[in-house]
Chain A
Amino acid sequence: MVDLDKYLPERGYYLALGLEGSANKLGVGIIKHNKGERSDENRAEVLCNIRDTYNAPPGEGFLPRDVAKHHRNKVVRMVLEALKIANVTYKDLDCICFTQGPGMGAPLQATVIAARMLSQLHGIPLVGVNHCVGHIEMGREITGADNPVVLYVSGGNTQIIAYSHQRYRIFGETLDIAVGNCLDRFARVLKISNDPAPGYNIEQLAKKGTKYAPLPYAVKGMDISMTGILAQVEQLAKDKQRKTQYSMEDLCFSLQETLFAMLVEITERAMAHVQSNQVLIVGGVGSNLRLQEMMSKMAAERGGSIYATDERFCIDNGIMIAQAGLLAYRVGITTDIKDSVCSQRFRTDDVYVKWRD
């Protein structure tokens, strides 16, 4: 059993502030852990979880420099607001957690500047957090899933993950673009609004779709590929003759059905491999109800169940960084300021998960 209270403060509980800024959301969260092992009676307490999203105009994607500017403009105000909401002061915080990667370089750097400054101004240790591990740990905490197969689906990542020997190991992943990126790029073709999220707006249109347009199905072993599917559906959307055959709603429906069927297939294979009947869906696309429904049917047929969170925790947020960072802090992991450089490429399986057996 891992000792999570070796560095317990005198007051008998822990508080961490988390800063997330790896993409177009800036999130600040403050979390409280009581001493002792996590259990149904001893859950983390979310004291604050605020987020501000940079949205590009319809038909456009967000550019790193614009997102970084957004984060720089907002971060100080959001930290102050978070402390106020949580009713805590700097001296109450045990650590400042920040996303160290993966993600977009400029937004990551804009966020870590604030983390480094906070750490130095108030003498609080820094903890660098892998963004994907943040999603997994928050998903485990919120749902209570103990040792699930994790489907991590977002705008920047698509991975099937299972825990083994203190690593979150990647069983399968995208060979090209992430599923959220595929949906976002199709939204740009259709010039759908980016508010609140292009994927959400595709989901709403897909609900009205009735006719399935055949699209390529690209599962390659445990991996998937999505660029060919995107090219095909874009072609259908642009093809004036076929426009009459498939409506915008039909194409959104067809794209979702194809992509999600592929995800279900590789998730099922991973479950069989690790003999698990739990699936935890994390990442922004994880809030898609159709994906949850399809995954749920598969899991039920295997006598299992799925665990998913709502948009507060699925979509990028600061509290998941605080959660994963605080778990690391509780086993003595901190990040020296000179080692706090962010990386756009930071693999989920690079992290040594010292806080689990």
Chain B
Amino acid sequence: MQHALKLEINCKTPRYADAMINTLSPDPILKPDEASINYEVVGETLVINIEGQSIRSLRVTANGLLDTVQEALECISSLDS
């Protein structure tokens, strides 16, 4: 794929980073021939590598993913007490 974006999200603890990857990774990407997402946990950081055939597919994939990431982070901050 021609275009790539790397996101590094500090989840504060390795446990939260694991919860994030387990929450985000099961859902398949809608157009796998146009874009791909790879997740990795490094310590307390969730590393997301997004690749796209075009800038547009990269942007659309990243936009959708960031909405989901935001929701998952809100769950961590509000539902873990």
Is residue B26 contacting chain A, with contact meaning CB distance below 8 A? yes
- The minimal Cβ–Cβ distance linking B38 to chain A, given in whole angstroms, is 16
User: Is chain B's binding surface mostly helix, strand, loop or mixed?
Assistant: helix
Interface contact A109-B75, CB-CB below 8 Å:
no
A-contacting residues, B30-81, CB 8 Å: 67-68, 70-72, 74-76, 78-80
What residues of chain B have their CB less than 8 Å away from a CB belonging to chain A? 18-19, 22-24, 26-28, 67-68, 70-72, 74-76, 78-80
Number of A-B contacts defined by CB within 8 Å: 58
Given A114-B75, A117-B75: A340 touches B26 (CB 8 Å cut-off)? yes
Interface contact B23-A113, CB-CB below 8 Å:
yes
- The minimal Cβ–Cβ distance linking A28 to chain B, given in whole angstroms, is 12
Residues of A within 8 A of B18 (CB): 120
Per-position 1/0 for A63-78, Cβ under 8 A of B: 0000011001001100
Q: How far is the CA of A121 from the CA of B23 in the complex (A)?
A: 11
A-B contacts, 22 of them at CB < 8 A, read: A68-B67, A69-B67, A72-B67, A76-B74, A76-B75, A76-B78, A109-B27, A110-B71, A113-B24, A114-B75, A116-B22, A116-B23, A116-B26, A117-B72, A117-B75, A118-B75, A118-B79, A121-B76, A337-B23, A338-B26, A339-B26, A340-B26
Interface contact B26-A120, CB-CB below 8 Å:
no
- The minimal Cβ–Cβ distance linking A64 to chain B, given in whole angstroms, is 12
Interface contact B78-A113, CB-CB below 8 Å:
no
Interface contact B79-A121, CB-CB below 8 Å:
yes
Given A110-B71, A113-B71: A120 touches B23 (CB 8 Å cut-off)? yes
Per-position 1/0 for A86-118, Cβ under 8 A of B: 000010000000000000000001100110111
User: Is chain A's binding surface mostly helix, strand, loop or mixed?
Assistant: helix
Interface contact B68-A117, CB-CB below 8 Å:
no
Given A121-B19, A121-B80: A72 touches B28 (CB 8 Å cut-off)? no
Q: How far is the CA of A68 from the CA of B67 in the complex (A)?
A: 10
Find A80's partner among B19, B70, B72, B79 (CB 8 Å cutoff). Answer: B79
Q: How far is the CA of A113 from the CA of B72 in the complex (A)?
A: 7
- The minimal Cβ–Cβ distance linking B58 to chain A, given in whole angstroms, is 18
Q: How far is the CA of A341 from the CA of B30 in the complex (A)?
A: 12
Q: How far is the CA of A338 from the CA of B68 in the complex (A)?
A: 17
Residue of A nearest to B68 (CB): A113
Residues of A within 8 A of B28 (CB): 341
Interface contact B71-A120, CB-CB below 8 Å:
no
